Amino acid sequence: MSQRFFITGTDTGVGKTVLSALLCAALNAYYWKPIQTGADEGLDSQTVVDLAELPQARILPEAYRFRQPVSPHQAARWAGEQIHLHNIKTPQIAPGAALIVEGAGGVLVPINEREFMVDLMRQFKLPVLLAARSSLGTINHTLLSLAALGRAGVDVAGVVLIGEPNSHNREAIEEYGRVRVVGEIPQMDQICLSALLRVYDMFFDKTAFLPARRSVSA
């Protein structure tokens, strides 16, 4: 097994793409956004390329790409399409390669008439990292998202708080959510490769991102 994670968030705009860029840089990972909406306003994959200075060869193509910046189910409707989970297959990369998969929106964003983003997470069977704000209101949003992930039987690798550090909110999320906060991304004057690597070095628990050890037979 290798360093592979699914990045979701408590809501849209929380900072999933910045977190994805940080982990791509720190883990030398591939980046994949299976469902991209709002393509007319720019691609998240290009943001990751720009922030993490990731080679284009490490960007994997979307399974679905829609122009309008709305929920995936609505973007597909407006495009005259429908999103089918069976059409979303993990791209073939080297077995030991790290991979960061970024979802669209939050845990319960609908992708069609019956299924939600959490169903895509269950299909991939990857450990999930939940991006959450550090500010007021985050406890409720984070606990609700964790509850939905728990009901779906998804493996949560941890929470990453984004914004000015708030020890009280961090402690509450860990206590009531029964989860580890494995990293924090404070406000940065400039988001660039060196800044992202510095934040990873200073504010992330590296043990949460170590490759799984393979058993060695005698």
In which domain, by residue range, is 154 found? Answer: 4-208
Residues of the chain under the 50 pLDDT cut: 1, 213-218
Residue 33 designated active-site: yes
Give the active site residue among 16, 33, 89, 125: 33
Give 90-127 pLDDT, tens digit per residue: 999 998 999 999 999 999 999 999 999 999 999 999 99
CATH of the domain at 185: 3.40.50.300
Question: Which region holds residue 153: left if phi is over 0, alpha if psi is between -120 and 50, else beta?
Answer: left
Residue 2 has a pLDDT of 66
Q: pTM above 0.75?
A: yes
Is 147 within the bounds of a domain? yes
User: Looking at the domain assignment, is residue 184 inside a domain?
Assistant: yes
Strand order in the sheet with 128-133: 59-60, 30-32, 99-106, 4-9, 128-133, 156-162, 181-185
User: Residue 37: inside a domain, yes or no?
Assistant: yes
**Three-class secondary structure of residue 139 per DSSP:** helix
Residue 175 lies in a domain: yes
Domains identified in the chain, total number: 1
